[in-house]
Amino acid sequence: MIVLHGVEKSYGPRAVLRGVDLHVHAGERVALVGPNGSGKTTLLRAILGLVRVSGGVRVAGFDPWEDHAAAQERVAWVPQRAPALPARVGDLAAAWSRMRGRPVARLVEVAGAFGLDVAGLRGVRFDWLSGGMQQKLLAAMALATDCPLLCFDEPTANLDPHARDVFIRRLDQKRVDPAGAPAVLLSSHRMDEVRHLVDRIVVLDDGRVRADATLGSVLADPVLAEAAGLTPHVPEAG
């Protein structure tokens, strides 16, 4: 689903990504973790075709920069910060329905679980909503799709505790989605909160992949667990 080979990106003299290799297979769930400035957001933006990089990037067989539209059809994503869209909520819902081929009622149902009334907000501009409401709508748009790949960059950062629980539960339910379990690439600073949602942990540090291991392997290694923001597994004495 995602194939990265030797991906590099610099902004002026500052190297942000340094030869990143990564494979994410269909249905696989991967957490992307690392300190601020490690390159996580840039890597996600490269996968989405939002920033040009050197090296190889393929999403569902497409180059997301050269074949942007084809790649975008196969990806749903929630950014760390919502874009300042001047469009009304109702217009965004209608555009989402056309793009994803799903009824607006599906989006209304998922957003309602988050506590967001899409119908009541249809005349309100998206950029007038609070940060939490924007995040709820974007999360609902992603979770209401049948895309084979879901990408999330700090998706719960602006959500209240109830909405975070809804997000985690709904994403977990995607494992048994009738349309087929999507691949998931998730970046989060709340790894102990979302750890059961992923199978693999990829640790980025200074633009390089420091570790790529199963969740169990990371939990068993205190150094990797700390780097991933996880509470390590400590074997019982005796």
In a domain, 59, yes or no: no
Q: What is the pLDDT along the chain (238 residues), one digit of tens a residue?
A: 999 999 999 999 999 999 999 999 999 999 998 888 889 999 999 999 999 999 999 999 999 999 999 999 999 999 988 888 899 999 999 999 999 999 999 999 999 999 999 999 999 999 999 999 999 999 999 999 999 999 999 888 889 999 999 999 999 998 877 667 999 999 887 777 778 889 899 999 999 999 999 888 888 888 777 777 777 765 544 4
- Determine the Cα–Cα distance for residues 44 and 42; give it in Å rounded to an integer: 5
Q: Which structural domain, as residue segments, surrounds residue 95?
A: 75-146+148-181
Query: Quick one: pLDDT at residue 130?
Result: 94
In a domain, 5, yes or no: no
In a domain, 42, yes or no: no
Query: Quick one: pLDDT at residue 234?
Result: 53
Look at the chain and report how many structural domains it folds into: 1
Residue 4, CA atoms < 13 Å, CB-side half-sphere: 23
In a domain, 82, yes or no: yes
Closest CA to 158 of 87, 82, 93: 82
Strands 183-187 and 29-33, bridge-based pairing:
parallel
Reading the block at residue 158, the tokens are 């602006």
In a domain, 114, yes or no: yes
In a domain, 47, yes or no: no
Specify the CATH number for the domain of residue 85. Answer: 3.40.50.300
In a domain, 111, yes or no: yes
CB atoms within 10 A of CB 109: 13
